[in-house]
Structure 1
Amino acid sequence: MPGAGTDKTKRWIEQPGPVVVLVEPQMGENIGAAARAMANFGLGRLRLVKPRQGWPNEKAVTMAAGADRILDGALLYETLAEAVADCSFVIATTARHHDQHKPIIDAVEAAREMAPRVSAGDTVALVFGRERNGLENHEVGLADRILTLPVNPAFASLNLAQAVIVVAYEWFKLAGRDAVREDEPRRSPPVGKQQLGAFFRDLESELDKVEFFRPAEKRETMTINLHNIFTRMELTQQDVRTLHGVIMAIAHGRKGPARGGTLDPQAAEELRGIIADHGAGTVLQERAPVKGLARLLRRNPTEAERTFWTALTNDRRFAGLGFKRQVPLGPHMADLVSIPLRCVVEIVPATETDTARDMRPVRHEWLAARNYRVITIAAADVEKDVKAVLDDLAPRVSAADQA
């Protein structure tokens, strides 16, 4: 005969619901009590992050009082980030706000926000922190919402299972009415924390390259703030793919005719003509150095330059000779230069402006006066047979090395 409210003759309610995540629970009894609370209100998925007393735990089984199926299905993780990697919406329960700009909600509002997402098939997580000190700042940073219960401010700490049962009750009360449905299907599912985490890692890597995180002691705070900006957006998987493409395009150039640059081949040729005019003093009547254009030129090679540079860097005969592309030398820009060899290689295009043609001997004279040897190569020859060009260039560079 069933007793104490547990009736195994009745159907166990199984319906979609949020995942409950317990972060480093201290005692097995608390895990068992939390599982019992989950069973009371139809929550079946439990995830544990590094339980202090190990797992499985007999005390948890005893305290669960029949909610064994929840404990049997519990999943173990090393970090909270791993535990919520597949989740698109995460609510962190904490009595402290952690000075993070996130929406702060109660259990009723949490149920309302979770219901349409769960109904749509999303994986949603309710995260509960350690019994003594709750969640760390970076862990709250993974959440989309902060859930705080209205309690006596002089005694705000709830037992772990008590916190679980309050939130689970509000969830079951709403979900049991099947109240919230989405009218229109979404074009893209919400992003999971794993995909979002990969985006953050790439973003931080690119920001590191430009020394964005300064001063160093503020890096953690700046990183959390960045995470919070994006989590507040409730991004979809397609949103993150688009944002990831934007970041990579800014950092490395878009994929297109220039194969990693920002200009097509014709525009790249025109750019070099403008630079030649600039060096001759016909643009704005000045001959300022063109150092600021070196990076742009390196990212936007012509077809001949790209072909030649790729072949040269893969040819062992030129390994270790120190050749670099688009290096400013005084007011001039060298197509390729080896500073150790004092050797400049120029790729002469099939068509060029009169100014560029007239500037060539002036540039060569300037370089010769500074002990640079100039070797000219026709772009047409490169496009016809780059191997033959390199075969001809190798002994000439070798002569420069010996000199």
Structure 2
Amino acid sequence: MSGNILQSIADWRSRSGPSGIPSICTANSMAIEAAMRCTAPTALPLLIEATCNQVNQEGGYTGMTPGGFRNFVEDIALRVGFDPERLILGGDHLGPNPWKAEPAEAAMAKAETMIRAYAAAGFTKLHLDCSMGCAGEPVALDDAETARRAARLAAAAEKARPQGGVAPVYIIGTEVPIPGGAMEEIEGLEVTDPEAALTTYDIHKQAFAAVGLTDAFDRVIGLVVQPGVEFGNHNVVDYDPAAAADLAAILPQMSGLVFEAHSTDYQTRDALRSLVQDGFAILKVGPGLTFVLREALYGLDAIAEELFPGTRDRTLRQTMEAVMIGDPRNWDRYYHGTGAERALQRHFSYSDRIRYYWPAKEAEAAVSRLFTLLGATPLPETLVSQYLGRLYPDVRAGLLSSDARSLAIAAVELLVDDYVAACAE
């Protein structure tokens, strides 16, 4: 891939071909495989992003460094037969967030080390997010300090990127709700004020110029805003084009930019299409991918109990419950209510915090046992209808094999297809 294909994304709507791009934010191998299989027949490149908490120089919660994540994704591409030249790797929320409990200078030094690792590993889409306060600072910083710190990280990335490689593009700004979805039910959202968006853009432009990064700022292609989409533990706020009309109208004032929409998980295909048409050309999806994968795995878990009752000491769901109870750090403060209500959320919340536990050894072993038990032979159509109903029509029509692994991958493909359709049509 010569040059950075995302550099011209603001012009995509005015020419034939894709109008936007999905951003696949996951480190789950089956979800990544599904995204590759779904994207392969289209004209889209495949953008896969890792967050600062997932992947960093200390390993993040996946245990992978940026270089390790790149190898992980490329290994999947090799196995699936996906052209690695069509891959774009991105880093999301790159900033001091993993170390925000430390003093600002210490946290920023670690953030610099992190973004250098991302840039050196060939990640070519970098979201600069320094909006959060560190120890002794306000929870959220003002625009000026946020922009100064973002420019500092851009400078580190510019120095670390491989000579002769593809120059990275940058995303600036941050959405109001926390990454990965809100923690409770949401009744409504305030769309980003257009003047606030323009101010964010202008202040970042000044901050980059102040440290001699005018060329790097020319590669800022996106601004993260809140278009009025979000999900909590229990509900989803759908996109309302009318409510975002004033925000969408300012895009022409920021030459070469599109909006990046976070937390688009669980939006309908029509809503996703409307977002792209309105200039929210980068659609980030993360928990939604592993939510539908968990649905499929639990459906297969139930089918295994129908076909082979009592064969396993624990079902997959029972294993996941034990793993989460044994390590509550990733769900305890996010789920509220009675014991029964929290138990329900552990498995079925839209925020899908169970996704943090699939890499656990016990979880990986349980999934492996499930696939081994069900084997590669087709499962009964009637059980697919009962427990994996959304996949039944394609199985019934002979378009989808009903073996366990194919069904799990297909469940994620159904979701990714909504994003591909919204961006490629």
Taking structure 1 as the reference length, the TM-score comes to: 0.20
- Point out the structure with the larger helix share: 2
Taking structure 2 as the reference length, the TM-score comes to: 0.19
Q: Which has the larger radius of gyration?
A: 1
More contact order relative to length (CA 8 Å, sep ≥ 6):
2
